[in-house]
């Protein structure tokens, strides 16, 4: 196989196996005092990160929330009113796809087996050609 054919084949497989660039997804649910909330998927903006927030108030159960937030607001403590009580609320941010999932919320999906199999096939093919 010539150099030109090898180059075309490499470009073809590289194009097929390269995942499309998409907006970051995070889980969302509004302020709640229950751990049984199942988040829904949402698209975040280019300058946003996923977050999990937790609020505490003396003598009262804590509140939680998940969503997207501007990266500049990560790690800040805020005062949040919920059901007539003021809570100290802290946001904990992460920047990967669906990274704000945690029990009891939905878990992240497994890697796509088709992509893994195609990648292994490409490596084997290229090692055979070289």
Return the pLDDT at 107. Answer: 36
The CATH number of whichever domain residue 120 belongs to comes to 2.10.60.10
Average confidence (pLDDT) over 6-34: 67
Is the pLDDT at 129 greater than 80? The verdict is: no
Tens-digit pLDDT profile for residues 83-111: 999 999 998 999 899 999 874 333 334 44
Identify the residue with better confidence: 118 or 99. 99
- Its pTM stands at 0.58
Tens-digit pLDDT profile for residues 30-72: 999 887 777 899 999 988 999 999 999 988 888 999 999 998 8
Domains: count for the chain: 1
DSSP calls for 24-37: -EEEEEEEES-S-P
Identify whether the C-beta of residue 107 lies closer than 8 Å to the C-beta of residue 101.
Answer: yes
Identify whether the C-beta of residue 65 lies closer than 8 Å to the C-beta of residue 42.
Answer: no
Domain assignment of residue 85, given as a range:
3-129
Return the pLDDT at 14. Answer: 54
Query: Whose structure tokens read 């649910």?
Result: 29
């Amino acid at each position: 196989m010539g150099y030109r054919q090898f180059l075309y084949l490499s470009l073809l497989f590289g194009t097929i196996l390269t995942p499309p660039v998409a907006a970051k997804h995070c889980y969302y649910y509004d302020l709640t005092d229950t751990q049984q909330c199942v988040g829904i998927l949402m698209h975040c903006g280019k300058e946003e990160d996923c977050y999990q927030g937790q609020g505490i108030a003396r003598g009262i159960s804590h509140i939680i929330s998940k969503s997207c937030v501007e990266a500049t607001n990560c790690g800040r403590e805020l005062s949040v009113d919920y059901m007539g009580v003021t809570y100290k609320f802290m946001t904990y941010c992460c920047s990967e796809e669906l990274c704000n999932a945690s029990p009891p919320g939905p878990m992240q999906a497994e890697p796509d087996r088709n992509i893994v199999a195609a990648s292994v096939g490409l490596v084997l093919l290229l090692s055979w050609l070289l």
